[in-house]
A and B are shown apart, each in its own frame.
Chain A
Amino acid sequence: MILQLLFAGVITGSVYALVAIGYTLIYGVLKFINFAHGEICAVGAFLAYSFNKQLGVPFAPAVLLSIILTSLLGIGADKIAYRPLRRSHRLILLISAIGISVILRNAIALVYGSYVRSLRGYALPRVYSFAGVNFTSIQIAIIASSVVFMFLLHLFLSRTRQGRAIRATSEDPEIASIFGVKTEGAISLTFGIASGLAAFGGIFIALEHDLDPNMGVMLGFKAFTASVIGGIGNVPGAMLGGYLLGLIENLSAGYISSRYKDAITLCILIGMLIARPHGLLRRREG
């Protein structure tokens, strides 16, 4: 049983990691927790649903379209609701972020109503078995693609010019702009990437569970917890935190109770914030 739980933990962990990276990236450039990030995941999932189930677009292109649109939405949200507040008091920015999350969540509910919707196929997936663990090809695909995305992100951030621009903007926007880095462009790009990853996270969740307009709330909360575990602002930390949280959550659901899963996450968050608010990985400070 433990192996099955660990496997489940890795799947959930992959999702949390993808979304947590988004929180951390945005925090890096803007030094604020984007409250609306969880809702972006939901948007991604629902858009994929619309393309695939309502418009009949094949799965892979539907996902791609969803990612693109969601990324654009993320960039748009920043331009409309956060950019005018770049120099405002932090509380004002937070309130605006709350507003965006409310708009997104309820817009989804408005458009899609309360019917139960699902992104899953009609046929039951084939279940394979190995070393006592049951798994489907979809689950393997989720884990594999998550790893691939994280790797690609790592390459992007460390090898490309724009990636460096984002990192420089996170560290010292004033000096970065001296050398010609367009900080607003870097911020928009960050939102685009974070939102794209969030869309993946949402879609992956939707492959295993039904779609729900409120899915973003707890997902966002948990992914946030994951990024805190790894140290907010630290991308590898977000990945680590995501997997750790996924594992802990599934193990406790299996051995303690699945009903109080969420409460356990909250306790972990509070515990982390009290004991080690800077996360498990110490960030290298110069």
Chain B
Amino acid sequence: MSYILHILIMSGIYSILSIGLNITAGYTGVLSLAHASFFGIGAYTSSILMKDFGMPFLIALVSGGCLASVSSVAVGLPTLRLREDYFLIATLGFCEIIHSLFLNLESVTNGPRGIMGIPYPSIAGYKIDTGAEYLLLTLVVLSAAVFCSYRISKTQFGRVLKAIREDETLALSLGKNPVRYKTYSLMIGAFLAGLGGSLYAHFMNFIDPSSFTLNESIFIFCMIVLGGLGSITGSILGALVLVSLPELLRFVGLPDPVAATLRQVIYGVLLVVFMIFRPQGLLGGVRLRWRG
């Protein structure tokens, strides 16, 4: 499979993730670090359903999304009524816990060794095992994600999400229940992350807990910050840039583990720098209201 195709497919998968996080954090202003967990839950669910239970791909795919979405309610229900910083830390805890569950529930997830030999997807008997075919599959799912995001953005539902982000008190006085909408946006984001997880698993044919850590959540977060909070095209652009960046670093010749860590440092710097100098991202997403 050509190198470029690989990058494109990964960009596509991560775009699905970032669009999901964009709905949660960009539209509604719900900052969450649990996105990698939903990614992982989707990946594991889909892999196990297809590999161990012989379920058809489409069912595995959707189940991955659904289970991720349901788990988001588990973390959201008790914590979304709280202030943003509390919620953020709760999602951090959730991410770590899910990661440790992936590591420790060996009977289900095979622990640190991960799951190997995840089958390629097949739809109605047709097996998708070439680069071009997988890219097509990814683009189809991505288009669905973009479509949903777009539909949300252009309608009252989306306006309410943005209203809650901008001025929760005002939204309350207008009959909108912030917790309800925050929960919805979290669930939608998680669903998309789950879909992305499934696509990832069946593409790589192998997953292990190390792909679904806090670092991963932050990685996805950087994509929407880079592209501009609230912008769909921005999320895709952010995914494209941040997926390709490591490849560029590889050309510089740094050993892999060092490169990986250096990348993380760059992400951190990126977050701080963008917040101070260009909080609206490259494409000028939303301009959050200054306080005071």
**Are chains A and B touching in the complex at the 8 Å CB cutoff?**
yes
Q: Is A90 an interface residue (CB 8 A)?
A: yes
DSSP majority for the B interface? Answer: helix
DSSP majority for the A interface? Answer: helix
Tell whether, in the assembled complex, residue B291 and residue A90 are in contact, meaning their CB atoms are under 8 Å apart: yes
Tell whether, in the assembled complex, residue B272 and residue A221 are in contact, meaning their CB atoms are under 8 Å apart: no
- Count residues on chain A whose CB falls below 8 Å from chain B CBs: 45
Stretch at the interface among A95-103, A163-171, A185-193: A95-103
Q: Is B133 an interface residue (CB 8 A)?
A: no
The chain B residue sitting closest to A213, CB to CB, is: B261
- A88 to B93, alpha carbons, bound, how many Å? 26
Tell whether, in the assembled complex, residue B291 and residue A100 are in contact, meaning their CB atoms are under 8 Å apart: no
- A84 to B276, alpha carbons, bound, how many Å? 7
Q: Is A178 an interface residue (CB 8 A)?
A: no
Across the interface, B218 reaches (CB within 8 A) one of A102, A263, A270, namely: A102
Stretch at the interface among B52-60, B62-70, B94-102: B94-102
Q: Which residues of B contact A266 (CB under 8 A)?
A: 90, 93-94, 97
Tell whether, in the assembled complex, residue A85 and residue B276 are in contact, meaning their CB atoms are under 8 Å apart: yes
Tell whether, in the assembled complex, residue B104 and residue A99 are in contact, meaning their CB atoms are under 8 Å apart: no
Q: Which of B32-54 touch A at CB < 8 Å?
A: 33
Tell whether, in the assembled complex, residue B92 and residue A110 are in contact, meaning their CB atoms are under 8 Å apart: no
In the complex, what's the smallest C-beta–C-beta distance from B162 to chain A, in angstroms?
13
Q: Which residues of A contact B276 (CB under 8 A)?
A: 81, 84-85, 96
The chain A residue sitting closest to B217, CB to CB, is: A98
The chain B residue sitting closest to A261, CB to CB, is: B100
Q: Which residues of A contact B97 (CB under 8 A)?
A: 262-263, 266
Stretch at the interface among B137-145, B191-199, B238-246, B263-271: B263-271
Q: Which of A77-93 touch B at CB < 8 Å?
A: 80-81, 84-85, 87-93
Tell whether, in the assembled complex, residue A259 and residue B104 are in contact, meaning their CB atoms are under 8 Å apart: yes
Q: Which of B261-289 touch A at CB < 8 Å?
A: 261-262, 264-265, 267-273, 275-276, 279, 288-289
Q: Is A94 an interface residue (CB 8 A)?
A: yes
Across the interface, A110 reaches (CB within 8 A) one of B214, B261, B290, namely: B261
Tell whether, in the assembled complex, residue B84 and residue A94 are in contact, meaning their CB atoms are under 8 Å apart: yes
Q: Which of B222-243 touch A at CB < 8 Å?
A: 225
- A189 to B273, alpha carbons, bound, how many Å? 24
Q: Which residues of A contact B221 (CB under 8 A)?
A: 95, 98
Q: A35-B89, A94-B31, A94-B88 are in contact. Are A88 and B78 (CB under 8 A)?
A: no
Q: Is B121 an interface residue (CB 8 A)?
A: no
Q: Which residues of A contact B90 (CB under 8 A)?
A: 266, 269-270, 273
Q: Which of A60-82 touch B at CB < 8 Å?
A: 80-81
Q: Which of B85-115 touch A at CB < 8 Å?
A: 85-86, 88-90, 92-94, 96-97, 100, 104
In the A-B complex, the 5 residue pairs with the smallest Cβ-Cβ separation, listed nearest first, are A99-B271, A102-B268, A103-B268, A106-B264, A99-B272
Instruction: Give chain A's interface residues, CB within 8 Å of chain B.
Output: 32-33, 35, 80-81, 84-85, 87-96, 98-107, 109-110, 114, 217-218, 221, 224, 228, 259, 262-263, 265-266, 269-270, 273-274, 277
Instruction: Give chain B's interface residues, CB within 8 Å of chain A.
Output: 29, 31, 33, 78-79, 82, 84-86, 88-90, 92-94, 96-97, 100, 104, 214-215, 218, 221, 225, 257-258, 261-262, 264-265, 267-273, 275-276, 279, 288-292
